[in-house]
Structure 1
Amino acid sequence: MRLRRGIAIAAISGGAAVTTLLVGLVTNAASDASQWPGWLGWLQEHAWVSLVVLGLTMAGLTALLAALSETRTPARSPLLPGRSEDGAEPPEAALVLRSLPRDTAAFTDRAAELEQLVGSVRDSQDRGEALPVHVIDGMPGVGKTAFAVHAGHMLSERFPDGQLFVNLNGHTPGRSPVQASEALASLLAAAGVPTQQIPVGDDASAVAEARAAIWRSRLAGKKALLILDNAASYRQLEPLLPGGSGCLVLVTSRKRLAAHEEVVLPVEALPPDHAVDLFVRLSGRPTDTLDREVLQELVGLCGYLPLGVSLLAARLRHHPSWSAEDLRERLLAARDRLGELRAGERAVTATFDLSYRDLTSERQRFFQHLGFYPGTDLDAYVGAALGAVSVAAARQHLDALYDNHLIEEHPGSRYRLHDLLRDYARGLAAEGDSMDHVHAVQRVCTYYLAVLAVANGHIVRSGAAVPPAPDGAAQVETPPLESRADALSWLENERPNVLACIRRANGLALHDAVIRLAAAMAPFLRQSGPWDQAVGLHRTAAEAARQTGDHQALADALAELGVVRRFMAAYPEATEALNMAVTQYDAVGDRRGKADALNQAGIVWYLTADNEDAARAQTEALALYREVGDRLGQANALADLGMVRRQMSNFDAAVEAQSEALSIYRELGDRYGEGNSLRDLGVVHCLMGAYDLAAQHHQDAYDIYVELDDRVHQAYALNELGVVRRLTGDLEGARDAHNRALEYYTELGDRFGRANSVRHLGTLDRLSGDAPNAIRTLQEALDAYRDLGSRGGEAATLSELGAARGMAGEQDSAVEAFQRSLEILRELGDRCAEAEVLNHWGALLRNSGNPAEARGHFERALRLARDVRCPLEEARALEGVGRCDWVVDGATGAAEVLREAVSVYRSLGAGASADEVERLLASRAG
């Protein structure tokens, strides 16, 4: 991008230079008859010199502009943006850094290994071959991660489309290895894929395969660098490998991985001389003040491992009064104390002990508590909770531990323990109070609960219940979260750590912490997903509630599980969980909780068009909300009841319920609810033929959704606007609205909304006369609805598909589609849609030369349409009856019915349909 911009600027400036030269030549020729004043006369006498100077000046400006384009246009990465469910454990979430960690100062000469890696990459790129996976293996502390990060920084310019670093926790104490599916979810989110678009489901292998497919597609044609750190097995990392040939993957592992087409780069302990040079550089001592023989013994005592060497050097740097001999004696004493450790780890762990003993007692205790932390990385606020100190003190401790090489620094003022150091810290802590571990985890859980209470205040819908802050939250120091954006950023960054804390709390039988953390994370996971991660979390909470006999908590967890299952379009599982929640709420006498669960169950039944059950659930929920005085709950139940009534073609009752809901939402200042009610009122008014009012409601709803930055509901409003435009003859405007909605749904991963857009576009294809494309598009929508279990969507699509197949001359297939559509609609009680199908079927029969049978279908459609007050289908039925009479009895008998159809069309604003009928009537007069 920068190169193209620089070339463009250079070309423009070069053109200006040429133009200047030409102008100068012309001016010079024209000026021979007159003498220029002052110094300009000299330019006239030496015209060619002046022209050369001008040319050089413009060339200089060209170079300057190009340089400015390089410095002022930052590189933009096309890749990077500006969990098993079966058990009672939430899945591990992967920590993904959107850029490489900072290069370490402790890196020392690995010339041979670096040359091998860089040469392999260069040769593959020069030959245009696929880059192989490069596996960096070696023992703990040998510097595998440091080597990978250093190599990544060296090679980053060859991979301009982005760099990602993923910790897979393959050998992290206290952490389960990250599952491939969870790592893919985190990678996709880091690469800019909206979390709602990341596939979810119960089939873990299918979900992993679907996520891997998107990941490969995302990286297709890209040149990106991916570091997979701390891998446990090839099986863990295989789904994460890009499918394209231009991406470089560096893997670090303590095991030799059996990867295909791999390049193995073993990282061994440092050569003695290199280890000594590293020690001298990090110790800060002049070389001539150190006894090289003693140094060789020192680096040998720590196994020539970079981690051990850096720790030893730090000890000497922090003790100016010590000599190298003093350090050797202390290290020997430490090795004796830790003599039972294995040879490879004993050497480096002895250096840990030496560094640890150099800390103050307060800092030693703080370091021990870091070993209890369940997460991957932490900041000063988490450190304060772990160590039961102030944030200011925690910052001092973390800075000092970093200076002493006992923790690693990560971007964003965050820190992380090396796996061996984490293990070492835990071993130290185990020598003290056995309850320290439990208390430290409890403090961290309390901290997270306190911050989640603040974050939820920004992201939870106005008027909705927010999980309360924990006892003692006032004494907990929390980071400043002053906006919704701050809250979402903090939640996204801390998600893997919170989930890890829930896992640890669950393992320690801290059931109350598990329950409360799951409830506090629920609002974020509802809207941000991945939803299968939320399913695992709420199952864990439900099991914790069963363990403690807490029926209230069990009901809450089941209700959240049902909501997430609804989002996943797993409707049977959602219904089961919500029904169980209703039972539990009944048992504890929680009427508001029961109302919430009934409301959610009613939404599921509405989506599957089980209208009677949906109406019953919403009516019962409404009564409960009124009993407890929950105004927001009342509005929600009324709005959802209005949608059910509309789906049952009971339009007056739908308008009444939705209007009452709208009034309450406005009373509460709930813009989200106001937008939803306006949109559904628009749908009802559209069905009733009030197109102007419908369009206004949809536009008002859309404006509210834009204000709320809610792209999902913007898409729903656009779809409804498209329908109104189609019915009023604006087919191009309708197509534009549906295409915009389709883009939003596809980006967000809303399968139901996407199916709606596809169906509407198929209808437009049919109306435009493109039957083959209409059939293909409608079949896609039909498959999606059937996969989702949406009978209402299936019936509507079959109606349109039958009409399109009739246009294509596929009469038998058309009739079959109409019959199946009518079966579903009669089960659902949607009489307006039933009239539409009968009108389509009547048109097919009339066009195929069977006007008598066609008239029977139109008459039945007319009765239904008038019964439910659906004027558009009434007008279509009248037109159908009139056209059949025209064929059978002649124009005289048909004229009256056709004029009635024109009148209804005109009242609706459907001018194109009215004009067509009037042209038929005019042909009779002619």
Structure 2
Amino acid sequence: MRLRRGIAIAAVAGGVAVTTMLIGLVTNAVSDQSRWPGWLGWLQEHAWFSFILLGVVMVVGTALLAALSEPRTPVPIAEPSPRPEDGPGPPGAALVLRSLPRDTATFTNRTAELDALVRSVQMWQESGEALPVHVVDGMPGVGKTTFAVHAGHVLSERFPDGQLFVNLNGHTSGRSPVQATEALASLLAAAGVPTQQIPVGDDVGAVTEARAAMWRGRLADKKALLILDNAATYRQLEPLLPGGGGCLVLVTSRKRLAANEEVVLPVEALPPDHAADLFTRLSGRPADSLDRAVVGALVRMCGNLPLGVSLLAARLRHHPSWSAEDLRGRLVAARDRLGELRAGERAVTATFDLSYRDLPQERQRFFQALGRYPGTDLDAYAGAALGSVSVAEARRHLDALYDDHLIEEQPGDRYRLHDLLRDYAHGLTDGERAGMDDVQTITRVCTYYLAALAGANNHIVRAGAPAPPQDDTSRVETPPTESRAAALEWLENERPNVLACIRRANNLDLHELVIRLAASMAPFLRQAGPWDQAVGLHRTAADAARRAGDRQALAGALAELGVVRRFMAAYPEATQALNEAVTEYEAVGDQQGKAAALNQAGIVWYLTADTEAAARAQTEALTLYREVGDRFGQANALADLGMVRRQTSQFDASVEAQTEALSIYRELHDQYGEANSLRDLGVVHCLMGEYELAARRHREAFDIYRALDDRVHQAYALNELGLVRRLTGDLDGAREDHAQAQAYYTELGDRFGRANSIRLLGVWERVSGNVGEAARLVEEALSTYRDLGSRGGEAAALSELGVVHGLVGERDSAVEAFQGGLEIVRDLGDRCAEAEIHNHWGALMLAHSDPAAGRERFDQALSLARDICCPLEEARALEGIGRCDWAIDRPDQAEPSLRQAVTVYRRLGVRAEADEIERLLASRAR
């Protein structure tokens, strides 16, 4: 690559030299004041040839320079190419706090380090240059995180656009470092990006790059503070760095990170006098009651590390009868017990041991259990499961451990272990006993999460839909989730912890727990995403089911994988997973599961324009659902079958299926399904020319979506309502609806919906006379449809693009667009869309003085429209036939067709077209 670039650069340089010479030749040729020698003189005599050669060289040089710029093209998210550190296994998730953790009381005098940081930030801000990354490094226990958090509070007013804190788990025992793609997903969500808008895919590198670009764009021109805690490598954090120069990034790490533009702020052990002052303050003893020499010896014995000093002081505070000398003696004994440790570890670990041995026995067991927790942070409910105690008792233990400085407090009544304390707690049991304890602890906490997820799913699983399987967990205490909003908030907060537990259970070969937890997380990940995280989870569940030989669980995991793949528009992968799920359900005799997989496969085939396969799958699913008495499944299959019937212009059959589905959804009190059926009925009624009924159905659907706070489907309803308004002459209302829908789609990242809005706005601009803007919008929609593989959308855009080309006189381009659209809609079996294209094509021929050819197109449109009962296209065809006859100078023959068109238009409420035809007929009467 470098050699090719070097050759290209040399070529450009040579071209520049030749260009310079030619300019001189041309100049001399014009001035004729001097002569050039040899063959150059011939060029001078033929000035026009010099001009031509100059132009060629400039064009070639420009092309080479453009090639050298190497613009980055979007990477197709298709084939996986994971980076070396992205090993196999269940997905992870980063814990992101939307505000800084609480400033700690144990922060002591770091005046020099804090002044250095503040001066650095102030200097860079005043210079107007981009703020560099500031790296806080130092040994474990030295107080890097405490310093970064305190500095963040001090500097927060300089960064008013927000503060974020991310734990990257670079050196956390029992947890893999957070991958950049996981951290970016959590950061984007914390910054307010809807999860549906976060890029997803199989290619980890491409997804990371796309998310990083979105993250940089989100923080462009912002002044925000980002703390990246516990980083392992610079590669881990580099994609997380904001692009704008106004953001401050504080990184803490045990390692010196290699970066080009960093400011390193080393945090070392406290000076002896500062360490002694911290000990005195935290011990709760009057300074004059403590022997300063003994205090100095104590803080030296724990290496003057803030973590060790805090623990020692807490021991003295909790034992009023002890003297500082008593504490020193105990610490000496503890150091002797831990003599096998390296010298650098022995000091601080001795303080851990002293604090641990001073705990009551039941609190020691609880502390050990915390060390085996794979999550990032926890509350009293998770603590109760870990320690096999009541929530009230867990809360007492957590409060006491916090008072003893053995755990750290996090926002929201949550706690976490320092990495060193996690290592220490996990190492308190060794060998076979440790393995048994790990299995028992993970089993308890996973059982707790299963119970808590069951409670949350009660609020987010649709009414009538089958809930994930659950055992009797009535004895498990779970947090109250009394509303859908509360359930979603709990799920978002616990997401990284549940995924960490699944990862740990998978490592321990606890296959059943992996399978059940994945199934319980599925409803949340379906709607919340990121979907590539869900793909990783369901792949893990499928692997666990295969290892356990559980074909029923394998079928369920494959079905969920297919659904998520459909959401990602990865249709071949979705079809493969769903077909495998059907096979597995057949093998275990699960008719209901097979029906659900067929229903989902039918949706994929509908989206990929295989309407015959879609109808077959939905019909078979409906039969199976009726056999097992699953009313919710019946409603889903009927609704999806109704969409297929609409696609193939079988409007009566579509209305019948959707009406039955609507009845069942209402019987089950499933508002989401009810709204979907109402919206689709509105679409069919619109195609049938029943505009008043169509508008009513769309408004009813919109009201339900709004009550459900479902903005994606609100947007779909708005687009359909806008279409009805345009057809009935309410142009202002139509534009308002389409623009609002586009805003929702853009915010939520729904590319297909946004393309629909843009196309419909293009039609509005064309109807309003803004042909240039119409062409731009329709071209944009067409490009998106093609990217997404939406053939129906592509056909609709091509049909409209043909109309626009015709209006600006580009007849050949219009015909090419109509031909492309006609080919697609014939494959789809969409005869209504086929009639529309014939009508547009006929209008093109008529406008270009070929009324005979136009009449042939209108005749085809009329036959199709009457065959499928599509009155709007029937009226347009009748009008076209009449106008063609009028243009051929056959007004007597034209009049009946035109009057029939007026009658249909009036019945539909399409006043403008009817009025225009009547003015034409009136002109003949005069």
Q: Do they fold alike, i.e. is TM over 0.5?
A: yes
Q: What residue ranges of structure 2 are gaps of 5+ in the alignment?
A: 1-79
Structure 1 residue 87: Cα displacement: 6.3
CA distance 1:434–1:211, change in 2 (3 Å): closer
- The reply to whether residue 97 of structure 1 matches residue 102 of structure 2 is no
Separation in 2, partners of 1:206, 1:774: 33
Structure 1 residue 776: Cα displacement: 1.1
CA distance 1:537–1:87, change in 2 (3 Å): farther
Residue 223 of structure 1: aligned partner? 223
- In the TM superposition, 1:747-758 aligns within 5 A as 747-758=747-758
- In the TM superposition, 1:265-664 aligns within 5 A as 265-430=265-430, 432=433, 434-471=435-472, 473-664=473-664
Amino acid at match of 2:563: V
Structure 1 residue 88: Cα displacement: 5.2
Q: In the TM superposition, what whole-angstrom CA distance separates every residue of 1:518-541 from its partner, at most 9, and x where no partner exists?
A: 000111111111111111111110
Residue 256 of structure 1: aligned partner? 256
SS across alignment from 1:227 = strand
Amino acid at match of 2:583: T
Q: What residue ranges of structure 1 are gaps of 5+ in the alignment?
A: 1-82
- Does structure 2 retain, via aligned residues, the 8 Å contact 1:818–1:837? yes
Residue 31 of structure 2: aligned partner? none
Separation in 1, partners of 2:668, 2:389: 42
Residue 25 of structure 2: aligned partner? none
Q: In the TM superposition, what whole-angstrom CA distance separates every residue of 1:548-588 from its partner, at most 9, and x where no partner exists?
A: 01000000001111111111111111111111111110110
Residue 855 of structure 1: aligned partner? 855
Separation in 2, partners of 1:227, 1:792: 47
- Does structure 2 retain, via aligned residues, the 8 Å contact 1:140–1:345? no
Residue 133 of structure 1: aligned partner? 133
Structure 1 residue 433: Cα displacement: 5.2
Separation in 1, partners of 2:434, 2:842: 83
- Does structure 2 retain, via aligned residues, the 8 Å contact 1:786–1:794? yes
Separation in 1, partners of 2:295, 2:279: 8
Separation in 2, partners of 1:659, 1:224: 52
Separation in 2, partners of 1:307, 1:666: 60
- In the TM superposition, 1:591-740 aligns within 5 A as 591-740=591-740
Residue 878 of structure 2: aligned partner? 878
Residue 12 of structure 2: aligned partner? none
- Does structure 2 retain, via aligned residues, the 8 Å contact 1:88–1:539? no
Residue 782 of structure 1: aligned partner? 782
Separation in 1, partners of 2:389, 2:703: 48
Structure 1 residue 291: Cα displacement: 2.2
- Does structure 2 retain, via aligned residues, the 8 Å contact 1:92–1:177? no
- The reply to whether residue 232 of structure 1 matches residue 232 of structure 2 is yes
Structure 1 residue 606: Cα displacement: 1.2
- Does structure 2 retain, via aligned residues, the 8 Å contact 1:88–1:543? no
Residue 187 of structure 2: aligned partner? 187
Separation in 2, partners of 1:101, 1:662: 49
SS across alignment from 1:863 = helix
Residue 40 of structure 1: aligned partner? none
- Does structure 2 retain, via aligned residues, the 8 Å contact 1:184–1:208? yes
- In the TM superposition, 1:72-83 aligns within 5 A as none
SS across alignment from 2:474 = helix
Separation in 2, partners of 1:888, 1:530: 61
Structure 1 residue 294: Cα displacement: 2.1
SS across alignment from 2:689 = coil
Separation in 2, partners of 1:435, 1:96: 32
SS across alignment from 1:415 = strand
Separation in 2, partners of 1:304, 1:396: 30
Separation in 1, partners of 2:922, 2:87: 73
Structure 1 residue 726: Cα displacement: 1.2
SS across alignment from 1:244 = coil
Q: In the TM superposition, what whole-angstrom CA distance separates every residue of 1:212-239 from its partner, at most 9, and x where no partner exists?
A: 2222222222211111101111111111
Residue 59 of structure 1: aligned partner? none
Q: In the TM superposition, what whole-angstrom CA distance separates every residue of 1:604-641 from its partner, at most 9, and x where no partner exists?
A: 11112211011001000000000001111111111110
Separation in 1, partners of 2:917, 2:429: 88
Structure 1 residue 478: Cα displacement: 1.0
- Does structure 2 retain, via aligned residues, the 8 Å contact 1:446–1:470? no
- The reply to whether residue 173 of structure 1 matches residue 194 of structure 2 is no
Separation in 1, partners of 2:463, 2:485: 16
Q: In the TM superposition, what whole-angstrom CA distance separates every residue of 1:893-921 from its partner, at most 9, and x where no partner exists?
A: 21121111111111111111111111221
CA distance 1:679–1:892, change in 2 (3 Å): same
Separation in 1, partners of 2:383, 2:675: 43
Separation in 1, partners of 2:762, 2:548: 54
Amino acid at match of 1:453: A
Residue 66 of structure 2: aligned partner? none
Amino acid at match of 2:446: C
Separation in 2, partners of 1:481, 1:305: 42
Separation in 2, partners of 1:177, 1:417: 16
Structure 1 residue 142: Cα displacement: 0.7
Structure 1 residue 342: Cα displacement: 2.5
Separation in 1, partners of 2:370, 2:429: 10
Structure 1 residue 372: Cα displacement: 0.6
Residue 17 of structure 1: aligned partner? none
Residue 845 of structure 1: aligned partner? 845
Structure 1 residue 287: Cα displacement: 2.0
Separation in 1, partners of 2:454, 2:669: 22
Residue 49 of structure 1: aligned partner? none
Amino acid at match of 1:460: V
- Does structure 2 retain, via aligned residues, the 8 Å contact 1:177–1:232? yes
TM-score, normalised to structure 1's length? 0.90
- Does structure 2 retain, via aligned residues, the 8 Å contact 1:715–1:745? yes
SS across alignment from 1:466 = coil
SS across alignment from 1:428 = coil
Separation in 2, partners of 1:741, 1:748: 11
Structure 1 residue 470: Cα displacement: 2.7
Separation in 2, partners of 1:433, 1:224: 44
Structure 1 residue 468: Cα displacement: 3.4
Residue 65 of structure 1: aligned partner? none
- The reply to whether residue 827 of structure 1 matches residue 819 of structure 2 is no
TM-score, normalised to structure 2's length? 0.90
- In the TM superposition, 1:763-782 aligns within 5 A as 763-782=763-782
Separation in 1, partners of 2:493, 2:670: 29
Q: In the TM superposition, what whole-angstrom CA distance separates every residue of 1:356-415 from its partner, at most 9, and x where no partner exists?
A: 111111111110010110100001111110011111111111111111111101011110
SS across alignment from 1:285 = coil
Separation in 2, partners of 1:352, 1:283: 16
Paired residues, number: 843
SS across alignment from 1:228 = strand
- Does structure 2 retain, via aligned residues, the 8 Å contact 1:689–1:871? yes
Separation in 1, partners of 2:460, 2:573: 27
Separation in 2, partners of 1:231, 1:919: 76
Separation in 2, partners of 1:351, 1:598: 61
Separation in 1, partners of 2:849, 2:458: 66
CA distance 1:87–1:810, change in 2 (3 Å): farther
Q: In the TM superposition, what whole-angstrom CA distance separates every residue of 1:446-471 from its partner, at most 9, and x where no partner exists?
A: 00000111111111100111123333
Give me the CA root mean square deviation. 1.4
Amino acid at match of 1:129: E
Structure 1 residue 422: Cα displacement: 0.3
Separation in 2, partners of 1:746, 1:345: 53
Separation in 2, partners of 1:843, 1:623: 46
CA distance 1:87–1:271, change in 2 (3 Å): closer
- The reply to whether residue 796 of structure 1 matches residue 796 of structure 2 is yes
- Does structure 2 retain, via aligned residues, the 8 Å contact 1:782–1:797? yes
